[in-house]
Amino acid sequence: MLRGLMNLFSLCWKPFGPDGENHEINGVLGGGGGTTGCSREGKDGLLWFRDIGKYGSGEFSMAVVQANQVLEDQSQIESGQFGTFVGIYDGHGGPEAARYVCDHLFSNFRAITAESHGVVTAETIQRAFRQTEEGFTTLVSELWGSRPNMATVGTCCLVGVIYQQTLFIASLGDSRVVLGKKVGNTGGMAAMRLSTEHNANIEAIRHELKELHPNDPQIVVLKHGVWRVKGIIQVSRSIGDLYMKHAQYNREPINAKFRLPEPMNMPLLSANPTIISHPLHPSDSFLIFASDGLWEHLSNEKAVDIVHNHPRAGSAKRLVKAALQEAARKREMRYSDLQKIDKKVRRHFHDDITVIVLFFNHDLISRGAVQDPPVSIRSALEH
């Protein structure tokens, strides 16, 4: 079944035609003949975009820009009769954990949901995260002899699930989802953050870590103006990063910069997501899911204004470009100059950035209907 899913995903990323467009057949890009809908997608240097497409409860826009030598962000949209699943996985230390989560988290979620006859709860989502962490731990254990540095690879995870008229948000790390909500009949749009971020630069997270580790005065350390867990990593929750969770992986031959000077008596990081449920309301207009590379340069309000004040098509690309323009401005550069900088070197100016914008069709949501065709889209491994 996994091979079949991977074949399905691979179809999403056929080379683009000369017109920069591709078509969606049963939710999959590529192919020819009769189409069930089409949308423009393309590439602009290190930026890939999907301007507009349909998912079960409305329309979506998607974009990714690469900054690292190897893209460490992964993302996916899965939509069908079960509802809609959106995932953004912001890897660190390498792409392997993000790719693993993109390969397994949704399939674990579907299998667990099937056991509960299709009913989605916070517990089913939590179990999918737990199963994915356990699977990645098994993989790291199997590869310890040949690829020990897999123990130092991890990923933040931001997941949204639309089930009937409820939105679930589950988060590990510091990616963020913001809701654009209509303000009465004013024509205005308010920005409401729905996710919880787990980053040691946030005072509440430092307090949480100190409460969990009362006997460790070095649980958070300020280095070069940045708070880090044990002076090493900013996020306090993730999938992977096993060197900060299991003592057996915090030893040679992993890189010395990851090894702790004292024994690890308990996990320092957690893979337990914060999950909220939000009943969808007709005033809820759209969601912006994005890795922290976007929010480093754009406020919640600015991002919502950009989406609200422009056509839906190209929303995600527009947000990425706005963040890149701000990154260039901070370095007293022109955006056109930033575009000429290649991956890896580009990382000195901005991070990999992934954005997915979901627009709600409340007529479909209120009727409990799902528009066809089903959608299965995953971001490319490389652009």
228-283 pLDDT, tens per residue? 999 999 999 999 999 999 999 999 999 999 999 999 999 999 999 999 999 999 99
Structure tokens at 255: 């890189």
Which residue in 99, 72, 76, 66 sits closest to 28, CA to CA?
76
pTM of the model as a whole? 0.89
Within 8 A by CB and 6+ apart from 197, the residues are: 171, 173, 174, 175, 176, 205, 292
311-364 pLDDT, tens per residue? 999 999 999 999 999 999 999 999 999 999 999 999 999 999 999 999 999 999
Which residue in 147, 354, 128 sits closest to 242, CA to CA?
147
User: Please, which pLDDT band fits residue 81 given cuts at 50, 70 and 90?
Assistant: confident
Omega into 15 within 30° of 0, i.e. cis? Answer: no
Handedness of CA 263, 251, 230, 136 (dihedral sign): negative
User: Please, which pLDDT band fits residue 94 given cuts at 50, 70 and 90?
Assistant: very high
Tell me how far apart the alpha carbons of residues 197 and 204 are, in angstroms, rounded to a whole number.
Answer: 10
- Residues 91-117, mean pLDDT to the nearest whole number: 96
Tell me how far apart the alpha carbons of residues 208 and 265 are, in angstroms, rounded to a whole number.
Answer: 18
Within 8 A by CB and 6+ apart from 227, the residues are: 200, 201, 206, 220, 221, 234
- Residues 67-72, mean pLDDT to the nearest whole number: 92
Tell me how far apart the alpha carbons of residues 356 and 291 are, in angstroms, rounded to a whole number.
Answer: 10
pLDDT over 70, % of the chain: 89
pLDDT over 90, % of the chain: 81
Helix (H) or strand (E) holding 316: helix 315-330
11-60 pLDDT, tens per residue? 333 332 333 333 332 333 322 222 233 457 788 889 999 999 999 999 99
pLDDT in the model for residue 30: 29
- Residues 200-222, mean pLDDT to the nearest whole number: 97
- What's the mean per-residue pLDDT of the chain? 89
Structure tokens at 283: 């005033």
Backbone φ and ψ of 89, nearest 5°: -125, 110
The 10 Å CB-count burial string (b at 16+, else e) for 252-286 is: eebeeebebeeebeeebbbbebebeebebeeebbb
Measured at the CA of 349, the angle between CA 346 and CA 352, to 5 degrees, comes to: 65
- Burial class from Cβ neighbours inside 10 Å (0-12, 13-18, 19+) for residue 351 reads buried
User: Please, which pLDDT band fits residue 373 given cuts at 50, 70 and 90?
Assistant: confident
121-169 pLDDT, tens per residue? 999 999 999 999 999 999 999 999 999 999 999 999 999 999 999 999 9
pLDDT in the model for residue 99: 96
- Residues 295-307, mean pLDDT to the nearest whole number: 98
Which residue in 168, 198, 174 sits closest to 276, CA to CA?
168
